Structure 1
Amino acid sequence: MKQYKEVINQDLLDRIDKLDAPDSLKEAMSYSLEAGGKRIRPILLLAVIHGFGKNPAAGLTAAAAVEMIHTYSLIHDDLPSMDNDDLRRGKPTNHKVFGEALAILAGDGLLTYSFQLIMDDPHLNADQKIQLVRLLSECAGPEGMVGGQVADIEGENRTLSMEELEYIHIHKTGKLLTFSILAGAVISHADAAQMNQLERFAHHLGLGFQISDDILDVTGDEELMGKPVGSDSGMHKSTYPSLLTLQGAKDHLRYHINEAKKALEPINRDTSLLVQITDLIADRTY
């Protein structure tokens, strides 16, 4: 996982550097990519390919694409019109450094460039490209991450039901994780039964990831996390701890982590790395 992360980090910056675009735009795009992060989405994608015994290098382009979309969403989330954050991953947010206009355009550039990357990927055949673009459009768009973000904004300053909260988390966070896992399966030529199990795995992993995030917003170390803790309560957002208590949220996290692992059992491939990532999400401190 550490090796994959290093490869991903360099690959992302190389792809931006090669763009025929204004230097200011490339600098703003690279700035947020360089800020780091867990790279959980691209690592999941490569881990699926690894589990199917294929060369993970075949998934590097799709891995870069999903991380660029994730990064664009963070740039836009931090804007004054949305979460109005000053720090992201321990550094000033993009708009604090480059201004709001260039931050918006940097996010737009990362979003659209991700689709170009997939369509130009020499490792994929035409059918795989169509599948990945279709899946990424769904997971990142109004039926996925964007829809979840809207529901999150509209849910501020009121107490949500568990159903409403899960809708936000499944779409805002879970859908890009689902893309990563299913994209690895598409690249690996997984069969329908394996795809179904991996989709089930992604569902529980995505909820577990967000519950863990909610818990860390209460118990996390600000220095480790690189952003202020308690921001959700400060913005009057419903979270798993606020609806279930902290212990109830921890119990809910353990349930989804266990269900995610169960979903991997029938796949009949080497899922050890996916299990390790699942445990990492359950036990992470940032």
Structure 2
Amino acid sequence: MDKKQYVDKAIHAYYERHGAVSERLVDAILYSVDGGGKRLRPLVLLDLLEDFGVTIEPGHYDVAAALEMIHTASLIHDDLPAMDNDDYRRGRLTNHKQFDEATAILAGDSLFLDPFGLMAEADLADSVKIKLIQALSQASGTFGMVAGQMLDMTAEHTQPSLVDLAAIHRHKTGCLLTYPFLAAGLLVEVSQDEQALLEEIGQLVGLAFQVRDDILDVTADFETLGKTPKKDVIAQKATYPSLLGLDQSYHILEDSLNQALALVEKLEAKQAKNFVKLRALLERLRLDG
């Protein structure tokens, strides 16, 4: 199996290990877990660990799986009628369309809460697990992704400043994309300087990913996206293209990736290692303007 399959196996194993109180709830949870997706966030974590020279262990897959569960929960809730009201995700019916709205809400609730149980059971040092759990909570909840979603909804039908837009996306998208970098540093137990470098790289990756997503929402079709295109335009959401135009958005994407690469060079010098997989990730995020 490849790393992506091991992440999926870790999620399934958690629910198999504990058994089901409600089969329907678990079915709804796994419907979204198994609905495709690149597993970008967990794979970034695992690839980073390999760049550091770490052999991937089951405990690492549990941390990666927990991160993917949080991300999947956010997608289920993001698609709900009260939020983005989307019928499709990753090319198939969204959770509330496949099941019903109440079931989708509860499946999302479970996927927000269960990851912390999974991480607590992971075969890792307790001192490291505490830091990993705290960092994931910070990235996910009131001070991270959920706050960003609130800011995003509040900004609909308004003309936010670039500062406001950056704050929305730094929290809504950036926090969960920064987490793999923070988690890798905690697992490897790097120095404070290296941890700060990893966090800054993660923030730049989060910015690049969001700008890229904003561009694709305007320029790509359903087959490419696997979800409804131009839905941000229809909802009058604040995006980089809507505020700055496509040309400037492409520039921000390229600039953030170039800044990240410069920081990778500093990290490589400190570690005396080549971060091949991290460099490859940054190059994959580029678009032809």
Q: Which residue of 2 aligns with 1:223?
A: 223
Q: Which residue of 2 aligns with 1:8?
A: 7
Q: Which residue of 2 aligns with 1:115?
A: 116
| Structure 1 residue 15: Cα displacement | 2.9
TM normalised by structure 1 equals 0.95
Correspondence list, 1:62-73, <5 A: 62-73=63-74
Deviation digits for residues 81-130 of structure 1, max 9, x if unmatched? 111110000110001111111111111111111000111111x1111011
Change (3 A) 1:18 1:283: farther
Question: C-alpha separation between the residues in 2 aligned to 1:6 and 1:60?
Answer: 10
Does the residue aligned with 1:258 lie in a helix, a strand or coil?
helix
Letter in 2 for 1:151: L
Q: Which residue of 2 aligns with 1:85?
A: 86
Question: C-alpha separation between the residues in 2 aligned to 1:281 and 1:89?
Answer: 19
| Structure 1 residue 226: Cα displacement | 0.8
Question: C-alpha separation between the residues in 2 aligned to 1:277 and 1:107?
Answer: 28
Letter in 1 for 2:278: L
- Whether contact under 8 Å (2:69, 2:111) holds in the other structure is yes
Question: C-alpha separation between the residues in 2 aligned to 1:154 and 1:200?
Answer: 27
| Structure 1 residue 186: Cα displacement | 0.9
- Whether contact under 8 Å (1:8, 1:64) holds in the other structure is yes
- Whether contact under 8 Å (1:59, 1:184) holds in the other structure is no
Q: Which residue of 2 aligns with 1:203?
A: 203
Q: Which residue of 2 aligns with 1:212?
A: 212
Question: C-alpha separation between the residues in 1 aligned to 2:18 and 2:27?
Answer: 11
Does the residue aligned with 2:286 lie in a helix, a strand or coil?
helix
Deviation digits for residues 163-185 of structure 1, max 9, x if unmatched? 01100110000101111111111
72-81 vs 19-28, which deviates more? 19-28
Question: C-alpha separation between the residues in 2 aligned to 1:193 and 1:121?
Answer: 27
Deviation digits for residues 217-258 of structure 1, max 9, x if unmatched? 011121121111111110001211111111110011000011
Query: Unpaired runs of 5+ in structure 1?
Result: none
| Structure 1 residue 280: Cα displacement | 1.2
| Structure 1 residue 74: Cα displacement | 0.6
Q: Which residue of 2 aligns with 1:279?
A: 283
Does the residue aligned with 2:2 lie in a helix, a strand or coil?
helix
212-221 vs 12-21, which deviates more? 12-21
Identity among equivalent positions (%) equals 40
| Structure 1 residue 19: Cα displacement | 3.2
Q: Which residue of 2 aligns with 1:33?
A: 33
Query: Unpaired runs of 5+ in structure 2?
Result: none
Q: Which residue of 2 aligns with 1:95?
A: 96
236-245 vs 137-146, which deviates more? 236-245
State how many pairs are aligned.
282
Q: Which residue of 2 aligns with 1:105?
A: 106
Does the residue aligned with 1:143 lie in a helix, a strand or coil?
coil
Does the residue aligned with 1:282 lie in a helix, a strand or coil?
coil
| Structure 1 residue 68: Cα displacement | 0.2
TM normalised by structure 2 equals 0.94
Letter in 1 for 2:277: L
